[in-house]
């Protein structure tokens, strides 16, 4: 007979593998000028259903297990709340920020949309809670997460070399070919290169998941080195290095600049830690050499598209048409954010309402010009105002302090990577796959290491 902890454990493993997939049901579809408007539509993802099942199952099992049968129900709830806050201060501070974000529904320009985004942020917190509460080994959870990212990476590599993304309504994937307008490509003088999507909505999001997967994989490699000895050869090292090569290859093929910056911040910090730590020095140098070899190989093989993306880091006349357009759109997004911010600098427009406020400000704009600013701190400031930005800063300050105080190396590395992401992209705040990724990674960052 399957025990309670087995159901919870298998369910969590399944969730970690399936989270990147975009299978969803549209509750409300909205459009601008007859074109589908992603940020104003309401959907339910298949993984959301699994998540809520696991959460309710954990609560039910906690409240009704035999050891508590003689304790009144209200006392059981009290113990559950204490367990929630006392053991995980990071959750408490996140909940404080979430509470203020929920209050923004009172003055939101679109209360319905704000309430929907509150659910999204709540789900990120619940994923974090499930991981920290789980009785499964941390190594097993990290390995399951890496397997899920490896599947997406292999899918993305296949897409790049076939230059086609095959659509699937079941998996929530739209058909993408490089000649179609609006598809993420790198355009050079010779051709248009389709970037790797995996099963995610955009290559930048795939890049984010891959960077998180690489960090989790490096953590597993370091852990095996510490357990096996500094120079001993664990039987898992070769498979780990092969998976590392797979993930790094897919990361290159996303051509994501934000993912590249996050990789340097996160993995760079992890490499430095590994090299200077006696038991992981050999593995750290091994990974550093492998990364250098792969970088040189792809730098030669994909010189033209990589150079094109590199010149697009700054707005200059040497950049191609699409890179100049991308730079202009990012700068225009910041100008739009400033205009929206000045309308209600103290309290903001309400959680999740940036694009709605922008569409009302410029009703003549087509849907592809109604996009979030590519910066999470900017979006928080516009949607939640000065007060919300202060609560966000306070929460992140206490999260970082907790990670440093407890010497949670994995958590610190993940925070460095996601801080870089937040400065140059918006999906960690605006899209389900990004919001849930934060919950998963911070769960890994604060959960205790295996004995």
Question: Structure pTM?
Answer: 0.93
| Whether the Cβ atoms of residue 333 and residue 374 lie closer than 8 Å to each other | yes
Per-residue model confidence (pLDDT) at position 364? 92
Number of residues that this document lists for the chain: 451
Residue ranges of domains in the chain: 1-66+96-446
Per-residue model confidence (pLDDT) at position 181? 84
SS3 readout for the chain:
CCCHHHHHHHHHHHHHHHCCCCCEEEEECCEECCEECHHHCEEEEHHHHHHHHHHHHHHHHHHHCHHHCCCCHHHHHHHHHHHHHHCCHHHHHHHHHHHHHHHHHHCCCCHHHHHHHHHHHHHHHHHHHHHHHCCCCHHHHHHHHHHHHHHHHHHHHHHHHHCCECCECCCCECCECCCCCCCCEEECCCCEEECCCCCCCCHHHHHHHHHHHHHHHHHHHHHHHHHHCCCCCCCCHHHHHHHHHHHHHHHHHHCCHHHHHHHHHHHHHHHHHHHHCHHHHHHHHHHHHHHHHHHHHHHHHCHHHHHHHHHCCCCCCCCCHHHHHHHHHHHHHHHHHHHHHHHCCCCCCCCCCHHHHHHHHCCCCCHHHCCCCCCHHHHHHHHHHHHHHHHHHHHHHHHHHHHHHCCCHHHHHHHHHHHHHHHHCCHHHHCHHHHHHHHHHHHHHHCCCCC
Torsion angle in degrees (nearest 10) through CA of 335, 205, 272, 230: 170
Distance between CA atoms of residues 427 and 375, nearest Å:
9
Distance between CA atoms of residues 400 and 403, nearest Å:
5
Taking only the tens of pLDDT, the chain with its 451 residues reads 456 668 888 999 999 999 999 999 999 999 988 889 999 999 999 999 999 999 999 888 776 665 555 556 556 555 555 555 554 667 777 888 999 999 999 999 999 999 999 999 999 999 998 998 888 889 999 999 999 999 999 999 999 999 999 999 888 898 999 998 889 999 988 899 999 999 999 999 999 999 999 999 999 999 888 876 544 455 667 899 999 999 999 999 999 999 999 999 898 888 888 888 878 888 888 899 999 999 999 999 999 999 988 876 655 556 677 778 888 888 999 999 999 999 999 999 999 999 999 999 999 999 989 999 999 999 999 999 999 999 999 888 888 888 888 889 999 999 999 999 999 999 999 999 999 999 999 999 888 765 4
Per-residue model confidence (pLDDT) at position 46? 96
Per-residue model confidence (pLDDT) at position 87? 47
Per-residue model confidence (pLDDT) at position 89? 63
Q: What is the distance between the terminal CA atoms of the chain, rounded to a whole angstrom?
A: 28
Residue 28 CB neighbour total at 10 angstroms: 11
Q: Which of 209, 199, 195 is nearest to 161 (CA)?
A: 195
| Whether the Cβ atoms of residue 17 and residue 151 lie closer than 8 Å to each other | yes
């Amino acid at each position: 007979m399957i025990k309670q902890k087995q159901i919870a454990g298998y369910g969590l493993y399944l969730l970690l593998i399936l989270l990147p997939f975009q299978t969803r049901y549209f509750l409300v579809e909205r459009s601008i000028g007859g074109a589908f408007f992603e940020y104003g539509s309401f959907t339910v993802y298949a993984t959301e259903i699994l998540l809520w099942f696991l959460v309710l199952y954990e609560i039910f099992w906690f409240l009704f297990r035999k050891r508590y049968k003689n304790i009144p129900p209200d006392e059981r709830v009290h113990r559950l709340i204490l367990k929630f806050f006392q053991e995980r201060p990071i959750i408490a501070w996140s909940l404080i920020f979430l509470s203020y974000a929920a209050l923004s529904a009172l003055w939101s320009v679109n209360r319905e949309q704000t309430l929907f985004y509150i659910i999204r942020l709540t789900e990120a917190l619940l994923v974090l809670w499930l991981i920290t509460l789980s009785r499964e080994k941390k190594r097993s959870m990290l390995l399951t997460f890496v397997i899920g990212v490896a599947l997406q990476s292999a899918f993305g590599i296949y897409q790049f070399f076939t230059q086609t993304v095959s659509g699937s309504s079941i998996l929530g994937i739209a058909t993408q070919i490089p000649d179609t307008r609006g598809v993420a490509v790198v355009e050079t003088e010779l051709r248009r290169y389709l970037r790797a999507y995996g099963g995610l909505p955009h290559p930048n999001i795939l890049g984010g998941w891959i960077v998180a997967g690489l960090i989790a994989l490096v953590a597993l490699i370091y852990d095996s080195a510490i357990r096996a000895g500094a120079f001993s050869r664990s039987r898992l090292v070769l498979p780990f290095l092969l998976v590392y090569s797979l993930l790094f290859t897919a990361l290159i093929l996303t051509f994501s600049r934000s993912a590249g910056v996050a990789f340097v911040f996160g993995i760079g910090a992890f490499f430095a830690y590994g090299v200077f730590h006696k038991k992981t020095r050999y593995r750290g140098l091994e990974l550093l050499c492998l990364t250098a070899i792969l970088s040189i190989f792809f730098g030669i093989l994909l010189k033209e598209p990589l150079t094109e993306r590199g010149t697009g880091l700054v707005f200059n006349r040497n950049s191609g048409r699409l890179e100049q357009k991308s730079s202009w759109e990012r700068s225009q997004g910041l100008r739009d954010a400033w205009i929206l911010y000045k309308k209600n600098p103290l309290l903001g427009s309400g959680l999740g309402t940036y694009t709605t406020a922008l569409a009302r400000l410029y009703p003549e704009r087509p849907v592809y010009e109604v996009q979030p600013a590519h910066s999470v701190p900017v979006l928080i400031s516009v949607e939640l105002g000065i007060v919300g930005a202060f609560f966000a800063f306070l929460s992140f300050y206490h999260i970082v302090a907790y990670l440093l105080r407890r010497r949670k190396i994995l958590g610190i590395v993940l925070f460095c990577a996601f801080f870089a992401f937040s400065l140059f992209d918006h999906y960690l705040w605006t899209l389900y796959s990004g919001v849930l990724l934060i919950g998963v990674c911070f769960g890994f960052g604060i959960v205790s290491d295996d004995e």
